[in-house]
Structure 1
Amino acid sequence: MNACETSPKSSGLVLPNTREPKKTNYKQMKSDIEIAREVTLKPVSEIAERLGIRKDLLEPYGHFKAKLPLSIIDKERMKGKKLILVSAISPTPAGEGKTTISIGLSEGLNRIGKQTTVVLREPSLGPVFGIKGGATGGGHAQVVPMEDINLHFTGDFAAIEKANNLLAALIDNNIQNKNGSLGIDPRTVHWKRVMDMNDRALRHIIVGLGGTTSGVPRETGFDITAASEIMAILCLAENFEDLKERIGRIFIGFTLNKKPVYARDLNAQGAMAALLKDAIKPNLVQTLEGNPAIIHGGPFANIAQGTNSVLATKMGLTLSDYVVTEAGFGFDLGAEKFLDIKCVSAGLQPDAAVLVATVRALKYHGGVPLSEINHPDAAAVERGLDNLEKHVENMRKFNVCPVIAINHFADDTDAEINAIQQKCKDLGVKAAVAKVHALGGEGAEELAAIVSEVAEACQSDLKPLYEWEWPVEKKIETIATKIYGAAAIDYTAQAKADLQKIYDLKLDKLPVCIAKTQKSLSDNPKLLGRPENFVVTVREIEIAAGAGFIVPITGNIMRMPGLPEKPAAENIDISSDGIISGLF
Structure 2
Amino acid sequence: MGYKTDIEIAREASKRPIQEIGAKLGISAEDLVPYGHDKAKVSADFIAAQSSKENGKLILVTAINPTPAGEGKTTTTVGLGDGLNAIGKKAAICIREASLGPCFGMKGGAAGGGYAQVVPMEDMNLHFTGDFHAITSAHNLLSAMIDNHIYWGNALEIDLRRVVWRRVMDMNDRALRDIVTSLGGVANGFPRQAGFDITVASEVMAILCLAKDLDDLQKRLGDIIVAYRRDRTPVYCRDIKADGAMTVLLKDAMQPNLVQTLENNPAFVHGGPFANIAHGCNSVVATTTALKIADYVVTEAGFGADLGAEKFMDIKCRHAGLAPDAVVIVATVRAMKMNGGVKKDDLGSENVAAVKEGCANLGRHIENVKGFGVPAVVAINHFVTDTDAEVEAIKDYVASLGSEAILCKHWAEGSKGIEALATRVSEIAESGVAKFETLYPNEMGLFEKIETVAKKIYRADEVIADKKIRDQLKQWEDAGYGALPVCMAKTQYSFTTDPNVRGAPTGHSIPIREVRLSAGAGFIVAICGEIMTMPGLPRVPSSESIMLNDQGQIEGLF
Which bin holds the TM-score, normalised by the shorter protein?
Answer: over 0.9
Q: Which residue of 1 aligns with 2:495?
A: 521
Shift of 1:494: 4.5
After the TM superposition, which of the residue ranges 278-287 and 131-140 deviates more from structure 2? 131-140
**Aligned-partner SS, 1:197:** coil
Q: Which residue of 2 aligns with 1:10?
A: none
Q: Which residue of 2 aligns with 1:126?
A: 101
Say if 2:374 is the partner of 1:400: yes
Q: Is the 8 A contact 1:475 1:512 kept in 2?
A: yes
Q: Is the 8 A contact 1:140 1:437 kept in 2?
A: yes
Shift of 1:500: 3.9
Instruction: Map Cα deviations across residues 303-332 of structure 1 (whole Å, 9 max, x no partner).
Output: 000000000001111111100000000111
Q: Which residue of 1 aligns with 2:255?
A: 281
User: What CA distance in whole angstroms lies between the structure 2 residues aligned with 1:493 and 1:224?
Assistant: 29
Question: Aligned AA for 2:199?
Answer: T
Alignment partner of 1:237 out of 202, 207, 211: 211
Q: Percent identity?
A: 55
User: What CA distance in whole angstroms lies between the structure 2 residues aligned with 1:120 and 1:438?
Assistant: 21
Q: Which residue of 2 aligns with 1:117?
A: 92
Q: Which residue of 2 aligns with 1:353?
A: 327
**Aligned-partner SS, 1:206:** strand
User: What CA distance in whole angstroms lies between the structure 1 residues aligned with 2:550 and 2:156?
Assistant: 53
Q: Which residue of 2 aligns with 1:444?
A: 418
Question: Aligned AA for 2:53?
Answer: R
**Aligned-partner SS, 1:75:** coil
How high is the TM-score relative to the length of structure 2? 0.98
User: What CA distance in whole angstroms lies between the structure 1 residues aligned with 2:8 and 2:210?
Assistant: 36
Q: Is the 8 A contact 2:107 2:541 kept in 1?
A: no
Alignment partner of 1:149 out of 105, 117, 124: 124
Say if 2:63 is the partner of 1:88: yes
Say if 2:529 is the partner of 1:560: no
User: What CA distance in whole angstroms lies between the structure 2 residues aligned with 1:498 and 1:563?
Assistant: 33
Q: Is the 8 A contact 2:258 2:267 kept in 1?
A: yes
Instruction: Map Cα deviations across residues 149-191 of structure 1 (whole Å, 9 max, x no partner).
Output: 111100000000000001100111111111x621111111111
Q: How does 1:15-414 map to 2 (within 5 A)?
A: 27-73=1-47, 74-79=50-55, 81-93=56-68, 95-178=70-153, 181-414=155-388
After the TM superposition, which of the residue ranges 417-426 and 368-377 deviates more from structure 2? 368-377
Question: Aligned AA for 1:75?
Answer: S
User: What CA distance in whole angstroms lies between the structure 2 residues aligned with 1:527 and 1:563?
Assistant: 23
Quote the RMSD (CA, aligned, Å): 1.3
Q: Is the 8 A contact 1:494 1:539 kept in 2?
A: no
Question: Aligned AA for 1:389?
Answer: G
Question: Aligned AA for 1:313?
Answer: T
User: What CA distance in whole angstroms lies between the structure 2 residues aligned with 1:76 and 1:547?
Assistant: 25
Q: Which residue of 1 aligns with 2:456?
A: 482
**Aligned-partner SS, 1:294:** strand
User: What CA distance in whole angstroms lies between the structure 1 residues aligned with 2:466 and 2:16?
Assistant: 55
Q: Is the 8 A contact 1:185 1:254 kept in 2?
A: yes
The answer for unaligned runs of 5 or more in structure 2 is none
Shift of 1:493: 4.7
Shift of 1:375: 3.2
- How many pairs were matched up? 556
User: What CA distance in whole angstroms lies between the structure 1 residues aligned with 2:439 and 2:471?
Assistant: 26
Q: Is the 8 A contact 1:89 1:391 kept in 2?
A: yes
Q: Is the 8 A contact 1:72 1:315 kept in 2?
A: no
Instruction: Map Cα deviations across residues 304-361 of structure 1 (whole Å, 9 max, x no partner).
Output: 0000000000111111110000000011101101111111111111110000011121
The answer for unaligned runs of 5 or more in structure 1 is 1-26
CA shift in 2, pair 1:232/1:94, >3 Å: farther
Q: Is the 8 A contact 1:573 1:582 kept in 2?
A: yes
Q: Is the 8 A contact 1:492 1:540 kept in 2?
A: no
Question: Aligned AA for 1:307?
Answer: C
Q: Is the 8 A contact 1:95 1:329 kept in 2?
A: no
Question: Aligned AA for 2:144?
Answer: A
Say if 2:515 is the partner of 1:547: no
Shift of 1:415: 1.5
Instruction: Map Cα deviations across residues 94-120 of structure 1 (whole Å, 9 max, x no partner).
Output: 641110000001111110001111110
CA shift in 2, pair 1:540/1:394, >3 Å: same
Q: Is the 8 A contact 2:69 2:338 kept in 1?
A: no
Question: Aligned AA for 1:297?
Answer: G
Instruction: Map Cα deviations across residues 220-255 of structure 1 (whole Å, 9 max, x no partner).
Output: 111111000000000000011100110011011211
Shift of 1:499: 2.2
User: What CA distance in whole angstroms lies between the structure 1 residues aligned with 2:337 and 2:165?
Assistant: 41
Q: Which runs of 4+ in 1 moved over 3 A?
A: none
Instruction: Map Cα deviations across residues 350-385 of structure 1 (whole Å, 9 max, x no partner).
Output: 110000011121112112233333332111110111
User: What CA distance in whole angstroms lies between the structure 1 residues aligned with 2:420 and 2:428?
Assistant: 12
User: What CA distance in whole angstroms lies between the structure 2 residues aligned with 1:519 and 1:567?
Assistant: 20
User: What CA distance in whole angstroms lies between the structure 1 residues aligned with 2:111 and 2:388?
Assistant: 29
Shift of 1:504: 4.4
Q: Is the 8 A contact 1:144 1:287 kept in 2?
A: yes
User: What CA distance in whole angstroms lies between the structure 1 residues aligned with 2:175 and 2:551?
Assistant: 34
Say if 2:427 is the partner of 1:453: yes
User: What CA distance in whole angstroms lies between the structure 2 residues aligned with 1:578 and 1:503?
Assistant: 56
Question: Aligned AA for 1:102?
Answer: T
Q: Is the 8 A contact 1:95 1:132 kept in 2?
A: no
Q: Is the 8 A contact 1:94 1:131 kept in 2?
A: no
How high is the TM-score relative to the length of structure 1? 0.93
User: What CA distance in whole angstroms lies between the structure 2 residues aligned with 1:495 and 1:527?
Assistant: 26
Q: Is the 8 A contact 2:69 2:344 kept in 1?
A: no
Q: Is the 8 A contact 2:107 2:557 kept in 1?
A: no
Q: How does 1:493-512 map to 2 (within 5 A)?
A: 493-512=467-486
**Aligned-partner SS, 2:61:** strand
